[in-house]
Structure 1
Amino acid sequence: MARNGARPPLPPELARQLRWPLRLTKAAIGAERGWRAFWPLATVAMAAVTWARFVGFGSVGFAALGVSFLIALVWGIRRFHPPSDPEAEARLDSTLPHAALATLRDMPALETTETSQILWQAHQDRMIQLARTARAPWPNLRIAERDPFALRLIAALGCVMALGFVDAPNGMGMPQADCPECEPTASWEGWIEPPVYTGQPSLYLNDQPPGPLPVPAGSRLTLRLYGQEDGRITLGGDLLRGAQGDGLQAEITENSTLSIHVRGAKTTPAWRFTAIGDVPPSIRTDGALTRVTSGTFKLGYRAGDDYGVTSGQARVELALNAVERRYGLSPDPDPRTAEILDLPRPYRADPRQLQGLWTEDLAQHPWAGLPVTVTLSAFDAIGQTGRSDPLHMTLPARRFFTPEARAVIEMRRDLLWARAGGPRVAQMLRAILHRPEDLDLPDGSYLALRAAIRDLEGALATGLNAEAQERLASTLWEIAIKIEDDGADSARDRMLRAQERLQQAMRDGATPEELAELMDELRRATQDYLDRLAQRPQDELPPMPDGDLLELSFADLDAMMDQIDELMQEGRFAEAMEMLDALNRMMENMKMVRGQGERANQRARDGLADTLRQQQGLSDEAFRELQERGGEGNELGESQGNTGRDGQLGRGQAHSGESSPEGAEEQGQSQGGEGAENRSLAQRQRSLEQELDAQRRALPGAGSEAGNAARDALDQAGRAMDQAADALEQGDNSAALDRQAEAMEALREGLRRFDEAVDSTQAGRDGQQGQTGQESTNPNARDPLGRATGNQLGRGPSDGGFTSEEDMRKRAQELTEELRNRAGETSRPKPERDYFERLLDQF
């Protein structure tokens, strides 16, 4: 194509459409060239206005302004060139793709044929369509490269400030409005700050609607006035009457009023402040007083305050009028101030409504066991006090069940009551020690009591003072504690002492809490006695005919003690004491001879083996339920094919026939829903855990290394069962299976260590008796568990064990191979295969 010489015009229709875009483009080019040429002139003009508003012009100033203006004008005229139509068309064409306007003015450079003519015309039509989309460009007024110091912007800013904010000299400023509405307006702000202890937020007075406004008494009002030079703001009401200044403050201690009038305002807001007084706190006891044999007592309380209770106290005073004044309490008591004790504040409790529990131990206080009056007090932040109704009670004291200890502690009370009773106390203590051979005193107590008597008599000779009184009281307390707690030298004595203490407490009318504590003490003492009895060598036990033996397990004893506890809770103390006597007679007749120990060991092992079978059954049921959730519905193991094989994976002997009726019932009742099944499994798992705990507590062989290891393993099994029950309750059968596998492994370990304990005990007895050859080879011999000894190794819980170690290894290899085969079957559900993998990891 050729672009030289005369160029054809644009199509007429397109030229009409581009008329306004070309004109606007031409104007944009003119604006760009004009601004670039005359920006110095505009800068001089704005600087002149700024100077005139701030300073004003003299003759020299006007001359300088004229010269600067003329130079800038000439400079701009010489640099300004008005744009032409081709320039406007070229500028507009630069905004189009493919230079559409220039293409429309082109002509073919070569001779055209019919085909080339058609192509050329199609090309021209496309350019026309592009040209119709032309839009005039915006002018580019950026001249930063021409004004690097931004003089034009500085002049513009000064001009705006001069015109808007400065009165010009010589009357050249902007005229001011002469009207009242144009006067500077006045304003105000106010805040009401309640006392900090109330915890309430500050109030912005401008946002509060006029009228009644309740605020806490002691709130502080702060008022800020703006534009108050000539009294445009008038304050009314009695709160700030006569106050002057821009910043005003007042404390709202009583009902008051405030109004604020601003000149020219249409309304005058007014408030009636109501001072809400701080109500004193309240406190009262909550529930009955509870106590234990150690002298510790608990008393609940409830306290409240409108803004929160900060602290509480309990005041304990001696109720002298209620004291039975006889014997050592006949003299007038030494003066003692009331005991002030802090009440514990519940952590993270609402201080406006507190519910706490006061726990205190005043067993060593001089008033322990005497009538007292207790008054609870609550305090708030401003020191107000609320008090409860006086509580009349006997100050809880430690219970002493040994007669010697009770006598010593009574003398201690009399000594602390009044120093004037010191001679009587010394005389009574000597009377107690008159025949020491009739006393049941632990080692050292007799000499300690003699030394205390000499110390008391020496203090009386020189004048008994308060310091010696407290020292002697502390000594007598320690002696009484030693007599009470260390009087039983053996486990049997401690058990009998616990029985006597419990019977004495029932006769004295002890509280349910004290009876429960003594019952727990009896349980511990009985367990300790049985453990120590089981550890004694066989030859140290007195022989008894078989007909006189009384077979009594710890579970039987535990059941009897539970029945005693139930009778005490029902208030049937006579029956409870009769059952205690029966328990004592049974313990007297129970002897740990060889035959009884063997039967007890056999029962213990059978019970653990049965627990292991039940745990295996629960694990299988949990796995079958997990399969059903996966949608496959396959049974664990190969359906029913492996039923009846003891120890076989899947449904073993524990789940067929009579050994697990619970498992059969669970298998046949699936319509209860997945949630009910999980709850049933969890409940059965909990029951099994409780059964295992009872078996662990009654397990023989305590004291030996293997016996302790067996108990530790059973503890671990119990924890795993508890975690499995938690997982079943949450529906997480996969985690439950892992925990159940741990429980079964721990049970197996416990059985193994229990066997070691029994075997070591038997070996020790055989060594002492010199029977090392014949018993070990006698096929009819029985071990302490009642099992056949000799070459029958590794017999399982069902007495259908293996005949040799080779059989055991072979059986283990078969089980491992079966596990690998089933874990590799891709047709099985993934949860089932994962279960097999976990079993392989363990074995």
Structure 2
Amino acid sequence: MTPLPVHLARLALLWERAAPVLAWPLAMLAVYATLSLAGLIERMGDPWRAVLAVGLLALGAAFATPAVRAWRWPSRNEAQRRVEADSGLKGRPFEALEDEPATGESVLWLAHRGRMREALRQVKARRPRAAWASLDTHGARISAVIVLATAFVYAGDMATVRLSDAFSPLPLAGGGERAVAEFWVEPPDYTGRPVVFLRERREARVPQGSVLAARITGLARQPRVSGGEAVIEEIGAGVHQLRMTLNADSAVIVRSGAFTERLDLEVIEDTPPRLALVSEPESDGQGLLMLEFTATDDYGVERYRLQIARDPGDGANPPDDSWDAIDIPPGAVVPARGENRYRATVETARHVLAGERVLVRMEGIDGAGQSGLTGPIGLRLPQRLFLDAMARAVAYERRLFLEGSGEYAPHPGPLARHVEDGFWPWLDDEPELRLERAPHGVQRLARALDALGDAPSAHFPDRIVFLGLRTAMHQVRRAREIGDLDHMEEDLWQIALRAELGTLADAEAALRAAERALSDALARGADEMELAALFEQFEEATRNYIAALMREAMQSDQLASGGGQGMNLNADMLQELLDALREATELGDTEGARRALAQLTELLRNMQIMAGGGGQGQTESALGRALREALEELGEVIGEQRGLTDETYEQSRSGDLAEGREGEEGRALAERQDGLRGRLAELLENMPDGMSEEGERAFDEAARQMDEASRALQRGDGQGALDAQDEALSALREGAAETAERLQAENEANGRGQGDRDPLGRDTDGGGVGGDTEVPSEMERQRARDILEELRRRAGDGSLTPEERAYIERLLDRF
């Protein structure tokens, strides 16, 4: 067996003889790698890269030829002699152990072999001799390593790319003359910013989430990209396209052979939306919550949600997972007076917490999915007030069902036996075992619906309510799992509405659906054809709703008792609002159309007919009459205060009211404000006794803010006057709400409804148009048409410069 030192010595001899052969090829390889790291190879491209590689290879082979000719493979004897020399042994012990004596083994020969064997136990092979030292007497190899390391550091993150390109068997683009690149940046759609083309520049500031796109022609192979993750695809022969999403500042480098492009892109951070409630939320008897808030974002808020949580009552904020969210349709959020101020109307009547003390907060979500929240505010979540006993009962059972029922218990029987026979297993699900397995809440709902359906016939003037109750009861009994009852919440709500409103419920649902569709289309900027179709649907739904109102009123004899005149007045006003909405839609005045739709919706929402016959054969009490008259006068005061506030805003904006400026405008507005203050004082003097503390506090605050607004107007402080007038309006509405609750309580106590009032809830003797509703005048609409026609005429003027024509086209696109 050959000892290990002999193998090591043989390897050492192999290296010492191979070093002269490899010296020059390795030197040429180091030169080629250094040139590639320096960027020369990628600038040369093919075929010069191949020429240089072949030349250096040939030069190295020429210098290595003498060493190749002198090459000999180290033998075993040479390795043994190397070990003996490295170990300082004499007598050639390896040969002694392998030789045989000619005359047989004597004692002396055996003793000699024993000494040689003992000597070989201490042998060792030293490391190879410095083979290159004799060739490189000046230490050029050290210099080569230093130069190569310096080139690697100089190349930076492109070192591996350049080495890969230099040694790649695939062809490279030659010289960079044929490769052409086009770069552009596509901002996210929600930013509304145009595409940025990087024609003569290679730097830009772009929104976060933008996409860097490029189309490169003339490359023989796919480019490499550093500075981010890019998706590269070949879309044609020699044509490559890349796309890269930018979320942080990036120095993007695109390389392929001699082709090199560097782009320095600064990313503008997209911050989350910022929201804040600016006034106390308002509500009505139909379960609608109105909130006014400010919302700011880099590129605008796209979606809004109302978050609701049960108020813990200890001042602590509920945990994040206890907040429920209601999506707000885009059309339900309209601009309010003031910068970045909006008003949202949210239907909360169907929420499980309706009528309870809750915390609410507005959530705004931008196009990037980031959200911002307002601070929580406590209130009693608005609920729909059902006056009909059957409607109240159904709504109550729906509420209990929504609060949670749990899951069904598993079926006790063997249901799998029919599967083998080809039958469905649920065929053996006995009906009596379905309700038995149901949770307590579902069993209670089944019993309640059964009891409601067994009510006397006097409770079912509308047979559809009876059929709805019986159908719902059978569906609850037949359900096999809680998922089968997902539709029950909607069904029970519709039954309650039908019991409360009769046929009016269907007309109201169709009107709300048409209203939401039109509002959402206006909010997203739909085209004229879609808006026209949606407007026709809304107008038809409005006509059907008015017809249903009149039918309900005639059934309860309200029209016969004097309500017809009020209905005619409301119909005229509705038609005027519809005309204004149609013209604003045709003119492309999106904001004007949204305002007109909001006003029309508010008017329709207030048109309530109490169809239960409460006005027949009953008289109004003196207290109820006084409260009603006070409430009507309050409505007029609120309308005039709102008009005065709008006029103050317009004059303040135009500069007629400025800080420290006194003039006729401020004194005239102050006198009108004082007049309203006096009218409010007279109204409060005639108000019946028994007002709640909240109502007294609200009216006192309204009077105080009116006085403050008057003083601000006298000294020319427009902003101070506006702030005080806003507070006065809020306090007046709160006081009016308290007065309305007193009136409703009085009417209920006397068994009296609203039979002698028109659909707006006003006395039919003095019905008229409220001051809160603003309809664009004919002059304003004609002015809008004139402006649109002038823009169209100028757009066709051939003498316009491209900049002027582009400006007019942008105006036409907007209006």
TM-score (norm 1): 0.29
TM-score (norm 2): 0.30
| Structure number with higher relative contact order (C-alpha < 8 Å, ≥ 6 residues apart) | 2
Larger radius of gyration: 1
